[in-house]
Amino acid sequence: MKQNSAAVEALLSQHRDQVLAEWQAELTAGGGNRALASEVRETGEVLTAILAGVRASGNTENFEDTPWTPVRDVLERLSASRAAQGSAAADTSRFVLALKKPLFAGLQRSFKDNPAAMVEATWEISTLIDHMAQFTVTTYQRSREEVISRQQMELLELSTPVVKLWDGVLAVPMIGTLDSGRTQLVMETLLQRIVETGSGLAIIDITGVPTVDTLVAQHLLKTVTAIRLMGADAIISGIRPQIAQTIVHLGIDLEGITTKATLADALKLAMKRAGFVVTRAKGADAFGTGSVGGLA
C-alpha cells in the first residue's frame, strides 16, 4: 500500500469518530444548523466504504476500478434517495465535498514533519473526493431523469383513458399533442380493452388535440389500422372546421374512415350501427331529466 493511502487508511480506522464529528460539523455549518439525522447515518456508511476501498485497492486512485464499487454503490443510493426527495444536485455534492476539510486536517497531523508528503497526500485525497462528488451529481441527474420519465408515463396513462360508452362501444378522448410514444400507448391500451370487453367499435375523439398535421394524421391512421386488425371498427370524432381544412390542405387521405364533428354524433352513429334507436320519452324536458325510453 502506498504511503499516502496507508495514512488515509490509518486516519479512517484509528480516528474514525473524530473525522465523522468534524464532517458532520461541516455539514451542519453549511446547512444552516438544520437537523442532520439522515446525514449522520450516511456519513458513517460513506467512511466505511472509503476505508474498504483503500484497503482493497491499496491506493486512493482509479475511482472507477472494482475495489471502489462499495463507495460507488453507497453514493448511488444516497443520490437516488435525495433525487426522489426533491433535493438539489448541489446539496448532494456539498455532502461529499464537506469531507475534504476533516481529511485534510487529519493528513496534516499525520504528515506534520513531512510537508512534501502532506501536499502529495492532500492532492490525492482531494482528487478522490472530487471524483466522488462528480459521481453523485451524475447519478443524481440520472435518477431525476428516471423520476421525470416515470411521471411522464403516468401522466400519459392518465391523459389517454379508454372509456366504455356503451355495450360494445369504447372511446379514447385525446388531449394534447399526439406523438409516436403516445400513439403506441394508446394503441396498446385500446387494443387490450377491445380484447377484454369484446367491443366492436372504438371512437377516437380528437377534440382536445390542438392541431393536426401529417404526422398526427399518420398516427391516427396507424391506430385505426390496428383496431381493424383486431376485428373492430373505428370512428374519429372532433373534426372541427379548422381541422377539416388542415386535412384537406395537407392532402391527407382519410377515405374509408368514418369521421364525425362531435363525440355525441359519433356515439349516436355507434348506437345506430349496434341496432339501438334512441327516442325521447313523453314528458322528458330539454335536459333529459325524464325517463328514457325507446332503446331497442
Question: Quick one: pLDDT at residue 28?
Answer: 81
* CA gap 234, 285 in Å, rounded: 32
Pairing status of strand 169-175 against strand 201-208: parallel
* CA gap 263, 275 in Å, rounded: 18
Are 235 and 269 within 8 A, CB to CB?
Answer: yes
Domain at 3-155: CATH code: 1.10.490
Domain boundaries, the chain: 3-155, 163-293
Question: Quick one: pLDDT at residue 158?
Answer: 59
Concatenating the DSSP letter of every residue in 103-120 gives HHHHHHHHTTT-HHHHHH
Q: Residue 87, exposed/middle/buried by CB under 10 A (0-12, 13-18, 19+)?
A: middle
Taking 3-state DSSP, the helix, strand and coil percentages for the chain, each rounded to the nearest 5, stand at: 65, 10, 25
Structure confidence by residue, pLDDT tens digits, 208-222: 888 888 888 888 888
Concatenating the DSSP letter of every residue in 207-260 gives EE-S---HHHHHHHHHHHHHHHHTT-EEEEE---HHHHHHHHHHT---TTSEEE
* CA gap 54, 58 in Å, rounded: 5
Structure confidence by residue, pLDDT tens digits, 224-248: 999 999 999 999 999 888 888 888 8
Here the cell at position 121 is: 497526500
Pairing status of strand 258-260 against strand 279-280: unpaired
CATH architecture of 163-293: 2-Layer Sandwich (3.30)
Give the confidence band of 32 by pLDDT, cuts at 50, 70, 90.
very low
* pLDDT score of 41 more than 80: no
Q: What is the CB-side half-sphere exposure of residue 264 using CA atoms within 13 A?
A: 1
Structure confidence by residue, pLDDT tens digits, 263-279: 999 999 988 888 877 77
* CA gap 8, 122 in Å, rounded: 10
* CA gap 205, 70 in Å, rounded: 53
Averaged pLDDT for residues 69-75 = 89
The pTM of this model reads 0.54
Expressed in angstroms, the distance from the first to the final Cα of the chain is: 89
Question: Quick one: pLDDT at residue 35?
Answer: 39
Structure confidence by residue, pLDDT tens digits, 118-170: 888 888 889 889 999 888 888 888 877 777 777 766 666 555 788 888 888 99
Cα 182 to the chain's mean position, in Å?
15
Are 165 and 171 within 8 A, CB to CB?
Answer: yes
Question: Quick one: pLDDT at residue 166?
Answer: 86
